[in-house]
């Protein structure tokens, strides 16, 4: 089937994450369902069909950002179909993406995250407590993505060099420095982890209470639970800690190019959003504090 071939292309040639591939799949399923068209008749799909689909998405109150993402998914799919010679022209190329309102990422304060790691009794003194703390510490101290954290293996860290090897998007590898405190926590966690595994072979660093590989919903629940203890923000995902990592580094004078490399961004364009956050913070402080602000 054409869609399945496309998904295999995303996995094997583009090296997209399972989460991204699932999003593409959902977008394509929705397109063919709403437009009442079939992938088998891909050559007969016209520009009007795609425009009607976009109108249908608007009528269903999809956000501008969501619609643009779906258009991008469809464009990539049709590019693949053209490459495979199922069509001669990609009709989506004539579709312009909608203008999105600028939205800055939500960033937790330094004090709230300081509370997270300093409050007595917040993390239990057992396997689960050490694991959960290590997860949160790694997110905030390294800025890694959720999929990257789940994919960390035992062999990916080096206690001598104090480094962690991360396999990022599209199989791009980067190395992140580790602090002495995180290495100690890692060592303590591994001792408890070995008891949970009870000689079972498990290459992935983070495991469930039964010794199986961790998974996205589990990590999300852990992060959401602990952040709710120290923040009233409605957004309490692992990505929020990534935003905090980058913004707090920038606020303390870190070089933007260094932050780009630590985050695993391919260009500075993605990283520059954090300069906007810092700029907005400065403006608010000025208006609040200056006598004529």
- The pLDDT of residue 291: 43
Instruction: Give per-residue pLDDT as tens, 74-93.
Output: 999 999 999 999 999 998 98
Q: Where are the domains of the chain?
A: 2-94, 110-288
Phi–psi pair at 85, nearest 5 degrees: 65, 30
Euclidean distance between CA atoms 85 and 41, whole angstroms: 13
Q: What tokens appear for 9 in the block?
A: 């292309």
Helix (H) or strand (E) holding 128: helix 127-142
- The pLDDT of residue 231: 83
User: Is 131 considered catalytic here?
Assistant: no
Domain 2-94 has CATH 3.40.630.10: no
User: Is 48 considered catalytic here?
Assistant: no
Instruction: Give per-residue pLDDT as tens, 202-234.
Output: 999 999 999 999 999 999 999 999 999 988 778
Q: 255 or 156: whose pLDDT is higher? A: 156
Contact 140, 134 (CB under 8 A): no
For range 239-246, the mean pLDDT: 90
Strands (E), 60-182: 157-158, 163-167, 173-177
> What is the Cβ-side half-sphere exposure of residue 43, based on CA atoms within 13 angstroms?
5
Beta-bridge mates of residue 174 = 166
3-state secondary structure of 167: strand
Phi–psi pair at 281, nearest 5 degrees: -65, -40
Q: Does 289 have pLDDT greater than 70?
A: no
User: Is 288 considered catalytic here?
Assistant: no
User: Residues 193, 242, 243, 260: which is the catalytic one?
Assistant: 242
Contact 133, 139 (CB under 8 A): no
Instruction: Give per-residue pLDDT as tens, 37-67.
Output: 887 888 889 899 999 999 999 998 888 889 9
Contact 164, 152 (CB under 8 A): yes
User: Is 243 considered catalytic here?
Assistant: no
What phi-psi label fits residue 85: left (phi over 0), alpha (psi between -120 and 50 degrees) or beta? left
- The pLDDT of residue 293: 41
Euclidean distance between CA atoms 10 and 16, whole angstroms: 6
Contact 115, 228 (CB under 8 A): no
Strands (E), the chain: 157-158, 163-167, 173-177
- When computed from its CA atoms, the radius of gyration of the chain, rounded to whole angstroms, is 22
In CATH terms, the fold of domain 110-288 is: hpI Integrase; Chain A (1.10.443)
β 157-158/163-167 pair status: antiparallel
- The pLDDT of residue 251: 83
User: Residues 162, 174, 265, 281: which is the catalytic one?
Assistant: 265
Contact 47, 94 (CB under 8 A): yes
Q: Mean of the per-residue pLDDT values for the chain? A: 86
User: Residues 145, 193, 236, 243: which is the catalytic one?
Assistant: 145
User: Residues 15, 25, 165, 169: which is the catalytic one?
Assistant: 169
Phi–psi pair at 244, nearest 5 degrees: -65, -45
User: Is 290 considered catalytic here?
Assistant: no
């Amino acid at each position: 089937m054409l869609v399945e071939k496309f998904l295999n292309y995303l996995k094997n040639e583009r090296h997209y994450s399972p989460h991204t591939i699932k999003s593409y799949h959902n977008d394509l399923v929705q397109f063919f369902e709403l437009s009442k068209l079939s992938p088998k008749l891909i050559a007969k799909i016209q520009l009007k069909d795609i425009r009607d689909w976009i109108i249908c998405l608007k009528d269903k109150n999809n956000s501008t950002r969501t619609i643009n993402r779906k258009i991008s998914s469809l464009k990539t799919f049709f590019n693949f179909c053209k490459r495979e010679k199922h069509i001669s022209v990609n009709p989506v190329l004539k579709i312009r993406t909608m203008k999105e309102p600028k939205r800055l990422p939500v960033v937790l304060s330094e004090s709230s995250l300081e509370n997270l790691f300093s409050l007595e009794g917040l993390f239990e003194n057992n396997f689960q407590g050490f694991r959960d703390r290590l997860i949160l510490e790694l997110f905030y101290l390294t800025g890694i993505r959720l999929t990257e954290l789940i994919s960390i293996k035992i062999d990916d860290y080096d206690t001598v060099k104090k480094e962690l090897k991360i396999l990022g998007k599209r199989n791009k590898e980067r190395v992140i420095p580790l602090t002495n405190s995180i290495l100690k926590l890692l060592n303590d966690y591994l001792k408890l982890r070995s008891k949970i595994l009870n000689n079972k072979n498990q290459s992935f660093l983070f495991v469930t209470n039964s010794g199986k590989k961790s998974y996205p919903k589990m990590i999300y629940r852990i992060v959401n639970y602990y952040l709710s203890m120290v923040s009233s923000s409605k957004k309490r995902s692992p990505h929020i800690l990534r935003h905090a990592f980058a913004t707090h580094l920038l606020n303390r004078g870190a070089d933007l190019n260094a932050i780009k490399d630590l985050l695993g961004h391919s260009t500075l364009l993605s990283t520059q959003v954090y300069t906007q956050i810092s700029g907005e913070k400065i403006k608010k402080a000025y208006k609040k504090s200056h006598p004529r602000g």
